[in-house]
Amino acid sequence: MKTKGLFITGTDTGIGKTLVSAGITRLLLNRGNSIGVFKPIASGGTISEDGKLLQMAARLPHSAYREIVPFHYRQPLAPWVASWKEGKVDLAKIEKAFQKAKASCDFLVVEGVGGIQVPITQDFFVTDWMVKWKLPVLIVVRAGLGTINHSLLTVEALQRRKVKIVGVLVNGYTGKGIAERTNVKALKKLLKVPVYGPLKYNPCYRKDLDLLAKDMAKLGLPII
């Protein structure tokens, strides 16, 4: 069976890509699918909390972590910048790990690194993985002020590269500000790709992935 999959990216770092990736993973897993998870590179600390959450979402053993996150920098920097002190990214190693992850399941959830133009090396960016791996892309965007500009720029950049966009998912909605209460409507009018959500902010999600999966199911994403 040819592996299907989804590349989850965002308009910025800290946008909620991991949470959305974990929610989709757990939802598909709970429906009886064979699911794999993959984060090609991470930075910050001695271990990637994002990678560990993906591991938990897929109910994989602790030993699977290094296959989920094949490359890691200690400094919380863009990979290319972190490489100035910690050594160049091994793109061949990451590619080998991706192909292995892809072959191990029927559906692979890939979480990107920051925004789409984060440099992995000086001449290789997150978008280059999207183009190379040919996975449809879901863009996670923040609910608050600034998201219209960032969302439009991200969609335009991906369309220019002929990357298939599943849609935009508005995340972390609290409804406290007028920008949050109007942004979903504005994005639906401005973008020519589907806009989903908003997914409300809930601090319980990281500890209750089944609750997250249940709420993700209500958003109407075609991929799930």
Catalytic residues: 39
Report the distance separating Cα 35 and Cα 106, nearest Å.
6
Report the distance separating Cα 209 and Cα 214, nearest Å.
9
The residues, ordered by sequence, that sit 6+ positions from 37 with a Cβ below 8 Å of its Cβ are 21, 25, 54, 55, 57, 58, 60, 68, 101, 108, 109, 110, 111
The two counts, helices (H) then strands (E), for the chain are 9, 10
Report the distance separating Cα 114 and Cα 202, nearest Å.
21
Of 127, 128, 43, give the one whose Cα is nearest residue 85: 43
Per DSSP, 217 falls in state G
Q: Is 134 helix (H, G, I), strand (E, B) or coil?
A: coil
Report the distance separating Cα 191 and Cα 170, nearest Å.
13
Provide φ and ψ at 208, rounded to 5°. -130, 80
Report the distance separating Cα 14 and Cα 122, nearest Å.
23
